[in-house]
Structure 1
Amino acid sequence: MTLRTDKNPSPQAAATDSPSDPGRRRLLLGSAGALVAFGLGGCLSDGGLDLAGATVRDLDGKEIPLDSIKGSPTVITFWATTCPSCVEEIPHIQELHDTYSPKGVDVIGLAMSYDPVSQIEKMVEKKDMTYTIWHDADEQGAQAFGPVRVTPSFFILDSEGRIEYQKIGLIDMDRVRGILDGLTA
């Protein structure tokens, strides 16, 4: 976008630079829609995410193949201990674990690479997080899912690893429950 600094723009320039110009608005909205569709296109493929070869670590440092999540519906949230929205979301993720884990859904919190394990462990204890917590030490998880750059980033995968829902920011619990109810019916 060009910022005009003319003190006396011509009437023609004012008309074409006006944000209320319908043609310009359609172009901007269409471009934004295309970018969103392009950005999600790789995530929503029929074959699921390509998780082969990507690893994360449990809090003891043991390597976990990320493709081990296939086979069950999975909730995975990328989070950080220093992210206020992530901390706010923890009770909701815990509720999902308590409700859907008995129905076969894996619930995983994947801490970002910049979080020290000791800080993650303190948060897990403080917030009584009983769902699976992994550490994306080498950023392989973040790369496999997008790349993920913003927390919280939340995903629901079906048992084949296909993304059923994704959300950056706080989740819509009613919508999430509806999707998980459908995957566990």
Structure 2
Amino acid sequence: MKKFIISLVIAMAGVGVWFTLSSTEAAPNVTFTSLEGKQFQTSDLQGKVVLVKFWATNCVTCIQQMPDTIAYYKQYKDQGYDTIAVAMAYDPEPFVKNYARDNNLPFTVTLDKDGSVAKAFDDIKFTPVAFLLDRQGNIVKRFIGNYDKAIFEKTLQDTLAKA
């Protein structure tokens, strides 16, 4: 009986490891365009833990979350954390530029003018939606709407702790 229990525990651990390893999904390799016109791809972000956050200036929850988004960026950037704020295609470019300037957004803000970035990330239509990517460019977790700050920060810390 003891051998059976040990075998069962080992088998369950193996299934758990297999599920964890096999459930990672690579982030789509898209081209981002910053407010300054600089282009880069998802693959250029590898080596960092990155939050890709879809937002809009007319989204109340997005605006409410922005101080926390800024705080997380400032607190963890020296540990290899970055944030890419993706403004939705329906958000007028002057509004995005004014908001980024007036609020001193310290991270990269991009314009998804044709909606291709949102389409590639599960066809995002409503905001806020954020994807936390690990250093290998895999999606660790998706955060939708007004997500729990404690869960986000714990997931971020756990992801940063991994090589």
Shorter chain as denominator, the TM-score bin is 0.7 to 0.9
Q: Contact 1:72 / 1:159 at 8 angstroms: preserved in 2?
A: yes
Shift in Å, 1:50: 3.0
SS of the equivalent of 2:54 reads: strand
Alignment correspondent of 1:46: 24
Match of 1:94 among 70, 87, 101: 70
What runs of 5+ residues in structure 1 fail to find an aligned partner? 1-43
Distance of 1:90 and 1:100 partners within structure 2: 15
What runs of 5+ residues in structure 2 fail to find an aligned partner? 1-21
In structure 2, relative to structure 1, the CA distance for the partners of 1:93 and 1:103 (3 Å cut) is same
Alignment correspondent of 2:9: none
**Over aligned residues, Cα RMSD in angstroms?**
1.7
Distance of 1:56 and 1:94 partners within structure 2: 20
Shift in Å, 1:47: 4.9
Distance of 1:87 and 1:77 partners within structure 2: 12
What is the TM-score of this pair, normalised by structure 1?
0.70
Code of the residue aligned with 2:61 in structure 1: it is: S
Q: How does 1:74-85 map to 2 (within 5 A)?
A: 74-85=50-61
RCO higher in structure (CA 8 A, sep ≥6): 2
Code of the residue aligned with 1:126 in structure 2: it is: D
Alignment correspondent of 2:94: 118
Distance of 2:50 and 2:77 partners within structure 1: 9
Alignment correspondent of 1:174: 150
Shift in Å, 1:95: 0.9
Q: How does 1:57-68 map to 2 (within 5 A)?
A: 57-68=33-44
Shift in Å, 1:184: 1.8
Q: Contact 1:70 / 1:160 at 8 angstroms: preserved in 2?
A: yes
CA shift digits 1:122-144 (9 cap, x unpaired): 11122221111111122221122
Query: How many pairs were matched up?
Result: 140
SS of the equivalent of 1:75 reads: strand
The yes-or-no answer on 1:135 pairing with 2:111 is yes
Distance of 2:70 and 2:130 partners within structure 1: 14
Shift in Å, 1:69: 2.0
Match of 2:139 among 153, 158, 163: 163
Q: Which has the higher strand share?
A: 2
The yes-or-no answer on 1:69 pairing with 2:45 is yes
